[in-house]
Amino acid sequence: MTTASPAPGLRTAHTADLTPAELRAARALLDVAFENDFRDGDWEHGLGGMHALVHDEAGLAAHGSVVMRRARHQGRWLRVGYVEAVAVRPDVRRTGLGGRVMGALERIVDRAYDLGALSASDDGARLYTARGWQPWTGRIHALSPDGIVHLPEEEGTTYVRPALAAPPDPAHELLFDWRDGDVL
């Protein structure tokens, strides 16, 4: 179901409610924004949840999505709203569009999940920390087909946003569900 947004040019919609043309436009934006370093697997990770899209007179200007993941923390499996595929067209960067996209995604995370999480580049981290996302300082693991694996390369680039639950304790690991490609 597509929902209207109070901000002009911004809308949220589930993957199922986006047209093939809208999906192609989002994928093309990600290719441009990430200088053709956004892989098909990365795109797959951003599908199946809610998307925030900002349009301007030139077309799709910004995009992001939030998908459901599971993470175990202190013996409890949490519903995690995992933010994916956040991008702003190069000609309109630093104009607040990334913040508008994140605002829409954070609203979804805050109302529907126990925890928000994302993996950030150094450039992206500035946006997320300015919005209250916190670097995860604990250990990160994933439940792989071969058992539990430690993901030290994800430590330091993973950010969390407590939503409905109390903030997770970094003295205890986050154990994420497995997925093909980049796990986080």
Two structure tokens written together for 104: 């829409």
* Average pLDDT value for residue range 53-58: 96
DSSP annotation of 96: S
Q: Would the pLDDT of 164 be above 80?
A: no
**By the 8 A CB rule, do 157 and 133 touch?**
no
Check whether 55 has a pLDDT greater than 50. Answer: yes
Euclidean distance between CA atoms 115 and 73, whole angstroms: 11
Query: What phi and psi, each to the nearest 5 degrees, are found at residue 138?
Result: -90, -175
Average pLDDT over residues 46-64: 97
Q: Over the stretch 63-107, which tens digit does the pLDDT of each residue have?
A: 999 999 999 999 999 999 999 999 999 999 999 999 999 999 999
DSSP run (H or E) holding 138: none
The pTM of the whole model exceeds 0.75: yes
- In CATH, the architecture of 10-177 is 3-Layer(aba) Sandwich (3.40)
**178 close to 146: Cβ distance less than 8 angstroms:** no
Q: What is the mean pLDDT of the chain?
A: 93
Asked whether residue 162 carries a pLDDT value surpassing 70, the answer given is: yes
In contact, 139 and 168? CB cutoff 8 Å: no
* Domain limits, the chain: 10-177
